[in-house]
Amino acid sequence: MPPAAAPAAQPPARHSATRSLLRLWPYVRPIRWFLTASTVSALLASLSALVIPLVLKNIVDGPVAHHDTAGLWRQGVLLLVLGLLEAGLFGLRRWFVARPLAGVERQMRADLYAKLQRLPVSFHDRWASGQLLSRATSDMYTIRLFLAFPLVFLIVNSMVFLTGIGIMFTLDWQLALITVLPAAPLIILCSYFERRYSAAARLAQDQNGDLATVLEESVLGIRILKSFGRHRTMAARYRAQAELLRETELKKARLLANLWAVIVGLPELALGTSLAVGIVQVAHGSTTAGTLVGFLSTALSLRWPVESLGWLLAYSNEAATATDRFYEVMDARPADSEDGPVPDGAPERASARAGARDGIRLAGVRFRYPDAPADSPDLLSGLDLHVRSGETMALVGLTGSGKTTLTALLPRLYEINGGRITLDGTDIREIPRARLRELVSMAFEDPTLFSASVSENVLMGAPDASEEELERALDVAQAQFVRALPEGSGTQVGEQGLSLSGGQRQRLALARAVVGAPEFLVLDDPLSALDVHTEALVEQALRQVLAETTALVVAHRPSTVQLADRVALLADGRIAAVGTHHELLESNPEYRELMSGERTGEGTEDGSLVR
């Protein structure tokens, strides 16, 4: 079996958040005009708010100073119009982007899912499912929210701030100069904060993926946990992982709190100084009360653009790390476009020969898992095997000998490191994967089912199969229990098919393998979960299917071996012996030991005899 899945890959060397976010452009480009309209609406709304301080200045220096009641009403109506305009424009901003951004999120999710389907099995062996799940859920939400709000207001608030500063200098340049003095230290602080927060945000997102993995494993393995009374152990593991995430989130909160304290404190200090200086100026008559009111109102209007800077920078960094995590998957090389070095023995051109019936042939096949230690030997080393056309070959061997691995090489779930595998004379690397997996049908030892109906699960093996072919496959697998289900073959089996027994799941998996009458059939211990009576019935029906195809069957007991025309013994990465069941019983002690379950002085250290 493959090595255990490793933790998620370490994040790449950190580069600028801007560069990461620019990678979203292919998804943003189709909705760029909606984003532009949203930005313009928000900008006009914010600029209309900056007009209010100027109206207040006119009110104080005009109607208030001259006791003009009629003029006061006119200015009041103007303030009301500006307030309604601001509210309407902000509502319009959200309307512009709500639907388009939902489409962007949908497209990114669809692309990520499609990419995961194309990536080789070796990729999924290395990645925890929770890490992939978090990229498809929480990271997508983070990116969408960034495009909807922080991206727009980073632009809008910057322009509003510059416009407000210009207005303040127009009203009183001395007070304005005092107000903008904190700008330089704030820029330095934000640069320092960006680097620290980015690292913490990435760590939190990876830990969130680890937490999702623990949760998923707990849900899928709930029967095991309860059976062995280990639910408290798993709960403790979950709490420990949640505590790690909590500490990282608190670190992020501390960073943001420190930044916010400075971002709010320095401008408030500058504003207080400006107020004191302004009062002195009004007292000496060097400026008017209306000017001071207008200046202070403008400065207060800029509090949101300044105070929001910390949150906007924080969320932009989270979106940048979410984008990096998304593209870590999207940048992975899919199996359908591998163009790396050709393994030893691979043909330079297609070697298909029309009409050739050579069955399955493995010649000098070498294989090791991609993440195996560098100094470990190959799992398969120079393996040779020929399954003749129309023949059923049983494959036997000790646990860990590589039987399941060998079967996974035929449909190219893994790529061989050397040698050749041919189907009827054609190298499998010259056959398009889609076509190869039509030719080779598999039933795995672990009968995985999906949250779908019985018929949908079975017809994954042949989507175009007729109702008669479906019924025939169910009969071959002795899955007549389907007809007694509430909705027959239309009955939903539930997540992982846990509403069915292990034997029922295995029979449906076998039906899925045989439904399309494949040219080549690979069965990995297909009868292990069946009772003796059902096993005998399945074997009887399966003989008819095997008579019409070329099959390789991983066998762990004599009853399964006897389905085969010949048997191959796998040992030490090679085929140690080939012959009929009776021939090997007579001539090969190791095979005899496997079939009898009796030790003859050799075997694995843990006493494993069959696998």
pLDDT (tens digit, 9 = 90+) per residue, 435-450?
A: 888 889 888 877 777 8
pLDDT given for residue 72 in this prediction: 66
Q: Which of 125-129, 348-352, 547-551, 596-600 has the highest mean pLDDT?
A: 547-551
The residue-averaged pLDDT of 247-263 equals: 81
Q: What is the pLDDT of residue 326?
A: 92
The answer on pLDDT for 97 being more than 80 is yes
Q: What's the pTM value of the predicted model, to 2 decimals?
A: 0.72
Tell me what pLDDT residue 345 has: 44
Do the beta carbons of residue 456 and residue 487 sit within 8 Å?
no
Domain boundaries, the chain: 17-336, 387-596
Dihedral angle over CA of 384, 601, 563, 440, nearest 10: -40
205 neighbors 211 (Cβ within 8 angstroms): no
CATH second-level architecture of 387-596? 3-Layer(aba) Sandwich (3.40)
Q: pLDDT-based confidence at 24, cuts 50/70/90?
A: very high
Rounded CA separation 449/248 (Å): 37
Q: What is the pLDDT of residue 61?
A: 61
Domain 17-336 annotated CATH 3.40.190.80: no
User: Sorting pLDDT into bands at 50, 70 and 90, what band is 5?
Assistant: very low
User: Which of 5-19, 116-130, 233-247, 268-282 is least confident?
Assistant: 5-19
Planar angle of CA 333, 335, 340, nearest 5 degrees: 65
Please say if the pLDDT value at position 527 is more than 80.
no
d(CA 155, CA 544): 70
Confidence of residue 388 (pLDDT cuts 50, 70, 90): very high
pLDDT level of residue 594 (50, 70, 90 thresholds): confident
Q: pLDDT at position 278, please?
A: 78
Which of 101-115, 350-364, 507-521 reaches the highest mean pLDDT? 101-115
Nearest to 523 by CA among 462, 461, 443: 443
* Domains 17-336 and 387-596 belong to one CATH topology: no
Least confidently predicted of 16-30, 64-78, 404-418, 475-489: 64-78
Instruction: Tell me the per-residue pLDDT of 554-569, one tens digit each, with 9 for 90 and over.
Output: 888 787 888 889 999 9
How much is the average pLDDT of 385-412? 89
Is pLDDT above 70 for 1?
A: no
Residue 608 has pLDDT above 80, yes or no: no
Task: Give CA–CA dist 229/222, Å, rounded.
Answer: 10
Among 347-361, 380-394, 488-502, top mean pLDDT goes to 380-394
Of residues 515 and 264, more confidence is placed in: 515
